[in-house]
Chains A and B, each alone.
Chain A
Amino acid sequence: MFPSDSFCLSLNRESRKIFFGLNICICVFCRRGPLKLGMSKVTQVDFPPRELVSYTKETQTPTQTHHKDDEEEEEDLALTQPALEHQEEKDSQKEEEEAPPHELTEEEKQQILHSEEFVTFFDHSSRIMERALSEQVDVFFDYSGRDLQDKEGESQAGAKLSLNRQFADERWSKHRVVTCLDWSPQYPELLAASYSSNEDAPHEPDGVALVWNMKYKKTTPEYVFHCQHPVYCVNVVGTQNAHNLISISTDGKMCSWSLDMLTTPQDSLELMFKQSKSVAVTSMSFPLGDVNNFVVGSEDGSVYTACRHGSKAGISEMFEGHHGPITGLDCHTAAGPVDFSHLFVTSSFDWTVKLWSTKNNKPLYSFEDNSDYVYDVMWSPTHPALFACVDGVGHLDLWNLNNETEVPTASVTVEGNPALNRVRWAHSGREVAVGDSEGRVHIYDVGEQISVARQDEWTRFVLTLTEINENREDVEELAAQRLAA
């Protein structure tokens, strides 16, 4: 609002023009000096478009040699071009074709870095690059063996149990206990490991699962999953089409879940022995091919067989024998000419591993070689008489019952003697994964002479079992006689 507006109104148009002009001149002279006018800085507003990723299935013959060279160099293991540089080069090339590139502002950079496309791309590419960079391909290796003549020492084939590699992640597995391990049936090189909560870092997620890849030498996990609750153990039973996830907990409840709906279990079962005693389950195993009957070990040191469905759903029988809580339980799985699926082994805090048959309430045999809590036990998936067990002072023992039942056939101690929590055979039966209380997973190669089962191993095992049974019966007779006397 011009203060002299009212003044202007009283004049006619002609006069107003002159007055206005006068006014301006007056204003000009009123100010300190003449008007200095200049160009202000250009204000720019930029919202970059969302990048659309599109693919063409045509193959392109190299026209832009510079571009193609870059791609070839990426695939060459010898070079070390990080994925980000590659992306930037591609970008700059594109821009060169379109318009001279302009410097991205900090905001634009951040926007790009946090955009979904970039994050997925970077995740995917960095995984590929890590694998490529960690490989050590020795192109000079001479298979004819001339080079090896000078080298002394045994070849790996002679060793019974040798450490292949260890998996540990600074960020995710340190200070956590390995709670469960499982090998992938589809990709034999993938191993999933679950971890307990990190007591030293209460702000970190409670439950972590990492997927490790045996195929590549890179030392970081393939995938990291975390959740707010600690992960203990799960089991998937059934075939590819009709399967269920079974989980069991120490309050005696067994739940079966459908993988499509993980919010509530499909059905649950209270495991009680003789309708009164709730069973505090610590471990569970399904015999080969069975989805209904299973075996559970409990905190009170007893083993129970149970059924999921049918009129007798729930606990069927009790097997007593251990003096301490059962830590591990495994049903015989090696499929062969003879069916041993009635056999199972258990490990316990009472320093022993026991061999049982579902046909007998008392253990068939007790392995007493250990001098600490035995934490886990597992049959070999390929050899009928072979199983592995781990204990609390870092020992991994392999027992071949066809060889020897008094002492393990092979044994190794993990450096540092950590408590070994879990043992899992790979599906091939040639490797064993061991998880310890410090979050490390150790993979051991098992020597051929132990792990590979010969044709006669099954029949030999039948003989071994007969021997064991005879011995047991003798012992029982003796004990009964002594009691009578």
Chain B
Amino acid sequence: MEEFHSGDEVSFSPDEASNVVKECIEGIIGGVDYSQNKVNQWTASIVEHTLTQLVKQGKPFKYIVNCAVMQKSGAGLHTANSCYWDTTTDGSCTVRWENRTMYCVVSVFAVAIAL
């Protein structure tokens, strides 16, 4: 039950969120190769970890975190997303990360809580 400062007009900072996400990814799958039996653990950890870090910031946002890990096998991957919200306060950020054996895409959506 965090308390928020009512009346503060906060808007989402994609850069800050992006840094948080990058750190999380690095910490969990930085330097490891794709492994089918571990990848579920990884995606879950990345999402949980990112979410916890974002909530810790104490900002009045609802967060949605999405993580996709794809093995590098020569196939192409293409995604797109869009939102209908209050563009002044809400925002999203997408972080693309890859290493030699896999791609990882994490998207964070933050919707301001109406106070």
Q: Which residues of A contact B (CB under 8 A)?
A: 1-3, 5, 24, 27-28, 30-32, 35-50, 52
Contact = CB atoms under 8 A, between A and B. Distances in A.
Given A1-B2, A27-B115, A30-B115, A46 B78 contact: yes
A3 B92 contact: no
B78 A40 contact: no
Nearest to B98: A47
A3 B107 contact: no
B74 interface: yes
A43 B92 contact: yes
Contact of A45 (B1, B9, B78, B114): B78
Contacts of B2: 1
Given A3-B4, A37-B85, 17 more contacts: A24-B114, A28-B114, A31-B114, A36-B88, A37-B84, A39-B83, A40-B84, A40-B90, A40-B91, A42-B81, A42-B82, A43-B80, A43-B81, A43-B94, A44-B80, A45-B78, A50-B75
Contacts of A31: 114
Interface in B82-115: 82-88, 90-92, 94, 96, 98, 103, 105, 107, 113-115
B103 to A, nearest CB: 5
A91 to B, nearest CB: 15
Q: Assign chain B's interface to a size class.
A: 20 to 34
Contacts of A47: 70, 76-78, 98, 103
A29 to B, nearest CB: 11
Contacts of A40: 82-85, 87, 90-92
Contacts of A48: 76
B15 interface: no
B16 interface: no
A38 B114 contact: no
B77 A45 contact: yes
Contacts of B4: 3
Contacts of B75: 49-50
Given A3-B4, A40-B85, A46 B94 contact: no
Nearest to B107: A43
B92 to A, nearest CB: 6
A49 B76 CA distance: 4
A48 B78 CA distance: 8
A283 B88 CA distance: 81
15 contacts: A1-B1, A3-B4, A3-B6, A5-B1, A36-B86, A37-B86, A37-B87, A40-B87, A40-B90, A42-B80, A42-B81, A43-B81, A44-B80, A45-B77, A52-B74
